[in-house]
Structure 1
Amino acid sequence: MKVVYASTPEQEKQIEELITYFYSDIFPSYFTDEEITEMEKNNILSKVEMYKHYDGTVKEAIQIITSLQVIIHIIETIQYENVSEYHRTVFEKNISFLEKYSLSFPFQIENFSLPKTNIISYYCKPNNQFLV
């Protein structure tokens, strides 16, 4: 008999927040709104797809959270550094962890090497909550 621990609601919320961060902060810097809409249609980083191979254990939740955080860190780092072989290896390794749980992330590190300068996107978080 094997004992496993279920992930906490906080861990599930953290996964959701990291996926939201990709859509609201990362993707708009590199892709157009039309491309991001297409990503949603194709279930890129979709929790619905994730539950096909995700049992909700603490180990799985921590692996997903860590992989998402590492990918975010690498994307944000290569804005200021050249892409090294180390960045590429770690990036690909963490994508494979996500794919293990059916979280699709079909990108290469080169997709994130040159951010857009002027970002106007439906997906970005508003700077304030006032209507003009």
Structure 2
Amino acid sequence: MARKVIDVRIVNAATAEQESFIKELSMELIHDVFPLYFSELDIQRFKKKGVLSLNNHYYQGTLKEAFQIMACLQMIHIILTKPSPHNDLSNQEIFDKNSKMLNDFGIYFPFAFSDFQTKTNKAFFGHRRLI
């Protein structure tokens, strides 16, 4: 008689406070950081397209995911609020890694590091339309 093997994993769910903090960090990026690089019209378009919104199809609500998402959002915020983020090549690598992780977790973040080139973003002037 063959035995059935059942793989059971126990994971901790993210707390309501952590999920609330993720929303708060997302709003900080939209309201405090994006205006440094984008026009209000662009920011409104981003909101309508669901930038920094969570797609529950990918996000499973685990404690590990919540911590990783919070760390990614904080890291992107730190990089983009530095006085000269583009002077250090490691910033681009860190930005790209965190951007990819956000998208992998189901948070829509369609930006490249180059979209944040200057405080008067080139995307706004037609060099690259994000959305």
Q: Which range, TM-score by smaller chain? A: 0.7 to 0.9
Report the residue type matching 1:32 in the other structure: S
Runs of 5+ unmatched residues, structure 2 = 1-7, 121-131
The residue correspondences of 1:63-74 to structure 2 (distance < 5 A) are: 63-74=68-79
1:112 maps to what in 2? Answer: 116
SS where residue 52 of structure 1 aligns? Answer: coil
Report the residue type matching 1:97 in the other structure: M
Q: Is the 8 A contact 2:72 2:102 kept in 1?
A: yes
What is the TM-score of this pair, normalised by structure 2? 0.80
Determine if the alignment matches structure 1 residue 29 to structure 2 residue 33: no
2:53 aligned residue (46, 53, 56) = 46
Q: Is the 8 A contact 2:92 2:113 kept in 1?
A: yes
Report the residue type matching 1:109 in the other structure: F
1:8 maps to what in 2? Answer: 15
Q: Which segments of structure 1 move beyond 6 Å, counting only runs of 4 or more?
A: none
1:91 maps to what in 2? Answer: 95
Separation in 2 of the partners of 1:19 and 1:32? 18
What is the TM-score of this pair, normalised by structure 1? 0.79
2:66 maps to what in 1? Answer: 61
Q: Is the 8 A contact 2:85 2:91 kept in 1?
A: no
Report the residue type matching 2:19 in the other structure: E
Runs of 5+ unmatched residues, structure 1 = 117-132
Q: 1:61 to 1:38 in 2, by over 3 A?
A: same
Larger Rg: 2
1:17 maps to what in 2? Answer: 24
- Kindly tell me the number of residue pairs found equivalent between the two proteins: 113
Separation in 2 of the partners of 1:75 and 1:82? 9
- The share of aligned pairs that are identical, in percent, is 34
